[in-house]
């Protein structure tokens, strides 16, 4: 399967080559365009016969805005439209064209089973702000409810319009709970997890307590409810072998965050995985406590499901309720 298309380091869409499917679309679009041009020429000739030459000379030329179909044809012809990969239709016809995503489509996703991977529809568990009927008091059945977010304490915003990568909703759909393989019902308040939480909330200091109590947890395969130690997948600044260039072998490495090596080449710091004094906002703590949604989804399911990409584009475009 292809890698996620939304990546803060690598960008959105990689250059790709034209495949057989694209060639068929190219031919179909060409025929449609030629027919439209022929019809336009016939209409223009008929109109010219009824307009005087003087009026025609005085008429200012009008250049119509190209339709998305016409523009797609031109981009394909010029090699600007990249059609290849797992989500070819979504990429080529929507993401690369910047087609507006309406809330109407998002509402459909929230009510549809398997919309983001194998599992129930989102509104089954998150259909109102009533804490007795909806987990986290979160209502995904309306646009207002999505914007309102989780109402159970601690209340949290689940989307940030314009920032899909920062939005909790997309993180919950895309990110597996760590360490990989931890059961869905594994406690989120174990001694090890609470130790990480308290360490971050206290300022994530590099002291004797960190060295003797916190750092060893990342090397312990039983620390967080899985059979895998965190450092098995996060032990260097290279990806591979370390996913997202996250290094959990020292305090300095942890504070550097994700993608530090790649981003440093561009003069940028790594993406923080620890937010000082705020465990709830820290990706390190989030990944230890938040199960991927929908419940029961295969951890190996791709993070760049077409509907996930469309949800992220809706958020990127402002998450308008229209």
**Whether residue 12 is found in the same domain as residue 72:** yes
**Whether residue 127 is found in the same domain as residue 203:** no
**Whether residue 204 is found in the same domain as residue 244:** yes
Please report the pLDDT score of residue 65 as a whole number.
Answer: 64
Please report the pLDDT score of residue 10 as a whole number.
Answer: 39
Please report the pLDDT score of residue 94 as a whole number.
Answer: 86
- Quote the CA–CA distance of 205 and 113 in Å, as a whole number: 44
- Quote the CA–CA distance of 64 and 61 in Å, as a whole number: 10
**Whether residue 172 is found in the same domain as residue 304:** yes
Q: What is the mean pLDDT of the chain?
A: 83
Token code pair at residue 213: 């109590």
**Whether residue 134 is found in the same domain as residue 208:** no
Please report the pLDDT score of residue 85 as a whole number.
Answer: 56
Please report the pLDDT score of residue 242 as a whole number.
Answer: 92
**Whether residue 131 is found in the same domain as residue 157:** yes
**Residue 194 CB contacts under 8 Å (≥ 6 apart), including other chains:** none
**Whether residue 107 is found in the same domain as residue 94:** no
- Quote the CA–CA distance of 1 and 14 in Å, as a whole number: 15
317 — pLDDT class (breaks 50, 70, 90): very high
**Whether residue 215 is found in the same domain as residue 248:** yes
Please report the pLDDT score of residue 309 as a whole number.
Answer: 94
Cα of first residue to Cα of last residue in the chain, in angstroms, is 33
The model's pTM is 0.72
Query: Per-residue pLDDT tens for 35-73?
Result: 444 444 444 444 444 444 444 445 555 555 668 777 767
**Whether residue 160 is found in the same domain as residue 90:** no
Torsion of CA 308, 313, 316, 320, to 10 degrees: -100
Q: How much is the average pLDDT of 201-212?
A: 98
Whether residue 59 is contained in a domain is answered as: no
User: Is residue 162 pLDDT above 80, yes or no?
Assistant: yes
**Whether residue 274 is found in the same domain as residue 300:** no
Please report the pLDDT score of residue 179 as a whole number.
Answer: 93
Whether residue 169 is contained in a domain is answered as: yes
Whether residue 85 is contained in a domain is answered as: yes
Whether residue 119 is contained in a domain is answered as: yes
Whether residue 181 is contained in a domain is answered as: no
**Whether residue 91 is found in the same domain as residue 235:** no
Whether residue 62 is contained in a domain is answered as: no
Q: How much is the average pLDDT of 180-196?
A: 94
Count of structural domains, the chain: 3
Please report the pLDDT score of residue 27 as a whole number.
Answer: 37
- Quote the CA–CA distance of 288 and 284 in Å, as a whole number: 7
Whether residue 203 is contained in a domain is answered as: yes
Please report the pLDDT score of residue 46 as a whole number.
Answer: 43
**Whether residue 253 is found in the same domain as residue 107:** no
Which residue range is the domain that position 40 belongs to? 1-52+67-99
Whether residue 183 is contained in a domain is answered as: no
DSSP character string of 43-84: HHHHHHHTS-HHHHHHSPP--PPPPHHHHHHHHHHTT-S---
């Amino acid at each position: 399967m292809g890698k996620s298309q939304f990546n803060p380091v690598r960008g959105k869409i990689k250059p790709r080559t034209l495949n057989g499917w694209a060639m068929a679309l190219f031919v179909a679009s060409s025929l449609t365009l030629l027919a439209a041009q022929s019809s336009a020429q016939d209409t223009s000739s008929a109109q010219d016969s009824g307009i005087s030459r003087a009026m025609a000379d005085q008429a200012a030329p009008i250049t119509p805005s190209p339709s998305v179909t016409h523009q797609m044809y031109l981009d394909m012809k010029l090699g600007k439209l990249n059609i290849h990969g797992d989500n070819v239709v979504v990429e080529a016809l929507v993401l690369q064209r910047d087609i507006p995503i309406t809330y109407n489509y998002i509402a459909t996703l929230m009510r549809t089973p398997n919309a983001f991977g194998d599992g129930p529809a989102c509104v089954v568990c998150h259909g109102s702000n009533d804490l007795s009927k909806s987990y986290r008091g979160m209502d995904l059945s309306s646009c207002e409810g999505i914007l309102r977010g989780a109402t159970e304490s601690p209340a949290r915003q689940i989307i940030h319009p314009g920032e899909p990568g920062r939005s909790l909703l997309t993180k919950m759909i895309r990110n597996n709970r760590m360490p990989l393989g931890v059961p869905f019902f594994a406690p989120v308040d174990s001694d090890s997890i609470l130790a990480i939480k308290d360490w971050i909330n206290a300022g994530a200091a590099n002291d004797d307590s960190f060295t003797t109590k916190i750092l060893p947890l990342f090397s312990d395969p039983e620390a967080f409810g899985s059979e895998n130690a965190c450092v098995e997948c996060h032990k260097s600044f290279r990806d591979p072998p370390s996913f997202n260039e996250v290094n959990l072998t020292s305090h300095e490495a942890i504070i550097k965050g994700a993608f530090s090596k790649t981003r440093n080449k561009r003069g940028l710091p790594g993406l923080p995985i620890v937010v000082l004094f705020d465990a709830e906002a820290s990706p390190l703590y989030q990944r230890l406590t938040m199960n991927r949604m929908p419940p029961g989804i295969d951890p190996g399911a791709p993070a760049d499901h077409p509907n996930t990409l469309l949800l992220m584009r809706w958020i990127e475009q402002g998450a308008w309720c229209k």
